[in-house]
Structure 1
Amino acid sequence: MSGFWWALLALVVAGLVVRIKFEPEVKACFERDPAARNFLEVLLTYSGLHVIVCYRIAHTLERVNVPVAPRLIMTLARWLTGIEIHPAATIGRGLFIDHGMSVVVGATAVIGENVTIFQGVTLGGTGKEKGKRHPTIGDNVVIGAGAKILGNITVGRDSMIGANAVVIRDVPEHSTVVGVPGRITRTKDQHFAGINLDHTHLPDPLAERLELLQHEIDALERHLKEHRNKTEA
């Protein structure tokens, strides 16, 4: 059998393994990325899926205290995908990393089920403290592009972190967070209907209040101008 056919056979076997063992992650690609057209394309080109496959292998080795190999696997994965995940991190099923470049997940981070992470996200620490020092992310959370979640804090399930937000305090369940530092702008008592991937058009009460104040200032200036004109007349 020629090298081509061996390579084709290896690709088919790898595809079957990924399709079976990583079914939630493959399903997430199709559900949360409208650009996903077929399984072969996802298998060959989706860096978020590639890094999760590498992570599962490295994490298994990390749990049985195999030295060096877990970190080496994830270093190679970082070179290939631009995504850095420590093998000791705990990640639930159904994680979808969209685009993925510059995503960083620290060693003691915990990520729940069906979480969505966009490019440039950091789940990091805040210093040199030992023990649990990275965030815990609940189920069904969406973390927008460029967001930073720092320290041993918890983001409750069904929450949304806006693009470029910096979160340094706990976030209740069903919340929306925007800004630097992150501000909770909305909290829901019920679950979201599905996963809302719009992480840019989020409410910002502070900006809305400032806009209202600006309108009031403009109205006062017009009133003063009219009064001045009447006085001069």
Structure 2
Amino acid sequence: MLRRIRSDIQAVFDNDPAARSRFEVIFTYSGLHAIWAYRIAHWFFVRRWFTAARMISQISRFFTGIEIHPGARIGERLFIDHGMGVVIGETCEIGNDVVLYQGVTLGGTGKEKGKRHPTIGNHVVISSGAKVLGSFKVGEHAKIGANSVVLKEVPPCSTIVGIPGRVVKFNGKRLEDKLNHNQVPDPVLETFRFMQKEINELKQELEELRQLQQANGNAGSTQDVKQKAEV
């Protein structure tokens, strides 16, 4: 237990450059408090003391804004940055050295039975507001962009963005340890750019047709004048 507590604290220093001292981390990091409360609740849950486990998880949710079901299985050195709005479902499985940012949901679609929530591999980074919904696996070293909605399996060493999530990097250049949030492609903006390009092309075609019609009209008027002059 003490070894795990030390590794949880070290995970904060490894992932958050703003962490200054162990005292500050222990007493002010809500993500750390939520993980420790989860470990206590999970201890009760596996011994089938379900009500006590849920009470602990709900108290933790009240104080931290992070909801972790006591039935979830979480590995070592999970880091939840800020954490407000994070939800982790009952049958979710999380590997080692995973990073979750605020607003992340690891949930189900409401249609599955049994295993309803995702399995997150080791060294996965899930950015702010991302939703991973369903019973599938997110491969190791995968990175999921902010506000993405992931509904199907994610290959290892890939980067996912968009709604629904799609792979934008896969076994390419070596990925950095952290996802650069400000460099995530915006699929909505790309769609608007494509539509604007189509509109500009249509405007150009209409202008060409108008000019062609005017030229044909002028040629017809000149021909009529010549015919009348000859008469």
TM-score normalised by length of structure 2 = 0.80
Aligned position for 1:105? 88
Structure 2 counterpart SS, 1:164: coil
Match of 2:178 among 190, 193, 196: 196
2:104 equivalent to 1:121: yes
Secondary structure, aligned partner of 2:110: coil
Range with greater deviation from structure 2 (88-97 or 21-30) = 21-30
1:32 aligns with 2:15: yes
Which residue, 172, 175, 190 being the options, matches 2:155? 172
Aligned length: 215
Match of 2:127 in 1: 144
The letter of the residue matching 1:89 is: A
Q: Contact between 1:143 and 1:199, CA under 8 Å: does it hold in 2?
A: no
**Match for 1:58 among 41, 44, 47?**
41
Deviation at 1:80, TM superposition (A): 0.8
Determine helix, strand or coil for the equivalent of 2:181. coil
Larger Rg: 2
* Residue 117 of structure 1, CA deviation: 0.6
Alpha-carbon distance in structure 2 between the residues aligned to 1:190 and 1:200:
18
Amino acid at match of 1:169: K
Give the alignment's Cα RMSD to 1 decimal: 2.7
Q: 2:168 aligns with which of 165, 175, 185?
A: 185
Structure 1 residues 116-155: Cα deviation after superposition (integer angstroms, max 9, x where no partner): 1111111111115331010011111111111111110111
Map 1:3-14 to 2 at 5 A. none
Question: Sequence identity, in percent?
Answer: 50
User: Which segment is superposed worse, 175-184 or 214-223?
Assistant: 214-223
The structural deviation recorded for 1:30 is: 1.6
Structure 2 distance, partners of 1:146, 1:206, is: 16
The correspondence of residues 64-83 of structure 1 with structure 2, limited to 5 A, is: 64-83=47-66
In structure 2, the residue matched to 1:41 is 24
